[in-house]
């Protein structure tokens, strides 16, 4: 079975070909035009997708060494994401699906991130706890099967990825904030400065990062760098506060559910501090991260999940639309 995946939920234009559950090609174009604005501008992102998408899809097909006529189905991100960018990808997928007379399968972007872990570890089996952590979402899920998901906790305000992005802006670093903070934190002392960890009670699985961001803002208003107070120590300490909060909530979720497998999904899963510290701090469970190239937005997870849904009989008509606020349930 050959499935073409298309992803345009934000500022990555991506296409992938999955054949019999193997990713044969994956092409991603990151829109760098947004860097000068310090964040994604939706209208610009939509226009960039329109310019790039045909080329990206064509390259994915060429890289997979297949013909367009060999594709059995198309899967495309339906949401969540930016309305205009989602619509660009969906319109393209529907048009191509009509032309080829093949099914078009809408995919939940968050679900795609979770299932990227099946690409990293083919022995992964249910049930497992998933920490889904990105720029727009910070959630803990109990995954017991395809479309059998229970939400255990989520952020009450900012997502962890937002805490990285907003923190980077306060610190005068680049966009996106996660990679910028991770880079500048290297060599810094993560225990030099104490930033708050909002744990919301001894048993809570909810998150809150707004207080941490505010704490950094007030701290930097008074901060003067010298040989005993290095900015890289501030950055490392801020990153540590985010990472330790995430790990503590995952630890609690494992105790609550009594599962023996943890998967980490979403863009923040690429953070090396998180990867190293969670493996050091949580023992006696299997911990799975996606490959780095499948942490941030990509179409490989969309094509792979599309194939799994097609095998389970999730054939779709074209009667679906973009859902910017689509939930995972």
Residues 134 and 251 in one domain: yes
pLDDT given for residue 40 in this prediction = 73
* Per-residue CA distances from 2 to 19, 34, 96, 187, 307 (Å): 5, 34, 15, 46, 8
pLDDT given for residue 11 in this prediction = 83
Residues 262 and 143 in one domain: yes
pLDDT given for residue 68 in this prediction = 95
Nearest CA among 11, 5, 4 for reference residue 30: 11
User: Does 326 map to a domain?
Assistant: no
User: Does 319 map to a domain?
Assistant: no
CA-to-CA distance for 258 and 240, rounded, in angstroms? 26
Q: What is residue 63's DSSP assignment?
A: H
Q: Which residues contact 183 (CB under 8 A, 6 or more apart)?
A: none
pLDDT given for residue 30 in this prediction = 73
User: Does 328 map to a domain?
Assistant: no
Pairing of strands 261-265, 22-30: unpaired
- In CATH, what number is assigned to the domain containing residue 261? 3.30.420.40
Supply the range of the domain harboring residue 96: 2-113+295-311
**Coil vs helix vs strand at 233:** helix
**Coil vs helix vs strand at 36:** helix
pLDDT given for residue 315 in this prediction = 66
pLDDT given for residue 250 in this prediction = 98
The CA-CA-CA angle for residues 313, 263, 115, to 5°, reads 25
Instruction: Determine contact, residues 234/171, Cβ cutoff 8 Å.
Output: yes
Instruction: Determine contact, residues 57/6, Cβ cutoff 8 Å.
Output: yes
pLDDT given for residue 43 in this prediction = 77
User: Does 120 map to a domain?
Assistant: no
User: Does 118 map to a domain?
Assistant: no
User: Does 232 map to a domain?
Assistant: yes
Residues 94 and 137 in one domain: no
Question: Exposed (0-12), middle (13-18) or buried (19+): which is 121, by Cβ within 10 Å?
Answer: middle
Residues 248 and 307 in one domain: no
Q: Kindly give the residue spans of alpha helices, DSSP state H, lying in the chain.
A: 42-63, 83-100, 109-120, 160-170, 177-185, 210-222, 231-257, 272-281, 300-311
Residues 133 and 276 in one domain: yes
Residues 106 and 186 in one domain: no
pLDDT given for residue 31 in this prediction = 64
Residues 146 and 268 in one domain: yes
pLDDT given for residue 34 in this prediction = 60
- What is the rounded radius of gyration, in angstroms, for the C-alpha atoms of the chain? 20
Interior/surface letters 271-296, b for 16+ CB within 10 angstroms, e for the rest: bebbbebbeeeeeeeebbbbeeebbb
In the beta sheet, which residues pair with residue 226?
229
What would the two tokens of residue 40 be? Answer: 């994604």
User: Does 324 map to a domain?
Assistant: no
pLDDT given for residue 36 in this prediction = 64
User: Does 68 map to a domain?
Assistant: yes
Using CA atoms in the order 328, 266, 155, 280, what is the torsion angle rounded to 10 degrees?
Answer: 130
Residues 202 and 90 in one domain: no
Question: Exposed (0-12), middle (13-18) or buried (19+): which is 183, by Cβ within 10 Å?
Answer: exposed
CA-to-CA distance for 264 and 274, rounded, in angstroms? 10
Q: Which residues of the chain, if any, have pLDDT below 50?
A: none
Residues 108 and 10 in one domain: yes
Residues 200 and 217 in one domain: yes
**What is the number of domains present in the chain?**
2
Residues 136 and 280 in one domain: yes
Q: Which residue has the tokens 């009509």?
A: 98
Residues 15 and 41 in one domain: yes
pLDDT given for residue 317 in this prediction = 73
Q: What share of the chain is helix, strand, coil (3-state, %, to 5)?
A: 45, 20, 35
């Amino acid at each position: 079975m050959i499935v073409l995946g298309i992803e345009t939920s934000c500022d990555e234009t991506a296409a992938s070909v999955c054949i019999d559950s193997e990713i044969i090609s994956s092409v991603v174009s990151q829109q760098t035009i947004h860097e000068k604005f310090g964040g994604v501008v939706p209208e610009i992102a939509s226009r960039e997708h329109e310019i790039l998408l045909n080329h990206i899809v064509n390259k994915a097909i060429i890289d997979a060494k297949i013909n367009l006529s060999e594709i059995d189905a198309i899967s495309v991100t339906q949401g969540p994401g930016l309305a205009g960018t989602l619509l660009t990808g969906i319109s393209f997928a529907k048009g191509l699906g009509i032309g080829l007379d093949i099914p078009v399968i809408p995919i939940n972007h968050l679900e795609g991130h979770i299932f990227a872990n099946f690409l990293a570890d083919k022995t992964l089996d249910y049930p497992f706890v998933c920490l889904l952590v990105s720029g727009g979402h910070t959630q803990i899920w109990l995954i017991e099967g395809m479309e059998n998901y229970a939400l255990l906790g989520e952020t009450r305000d900012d997502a962890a990825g937002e805490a990285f992005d907003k923190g980077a802006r306060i610190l005068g670093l680049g966009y996106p904030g996660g990679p910028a903070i991770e880079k500048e934190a290297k060599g810094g002392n993560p225990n030099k400065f104490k930033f708050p960890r909002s744990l919301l009670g001894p048993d809570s699985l909810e998150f809150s990062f707004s207080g941490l961001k505010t704490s950094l803002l007030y701290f930097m208003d008074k901060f003067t760098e010298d040989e005993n107070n290095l900015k890289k120590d501030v950055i490392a300490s801020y990153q540590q506060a985010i990472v330790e909060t995430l790990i503590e909530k995952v630890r609690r979720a494992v105790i609550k559910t009594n599962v023996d497998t943890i998967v980490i999904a979403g863009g923040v899963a690429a953070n090396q501090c998180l990867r190293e510290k969670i493996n050091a701090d949580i023992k006696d469970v299997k911990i799975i991260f996606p490959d780095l190239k499948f942490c941030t937005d990509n179409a490989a997870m969309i094509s792979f999940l599309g194939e799994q849904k097609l095998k389970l009989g999730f054939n779709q008509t074209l009667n679906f639309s973009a859902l910017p606020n689509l939930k995972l349930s």
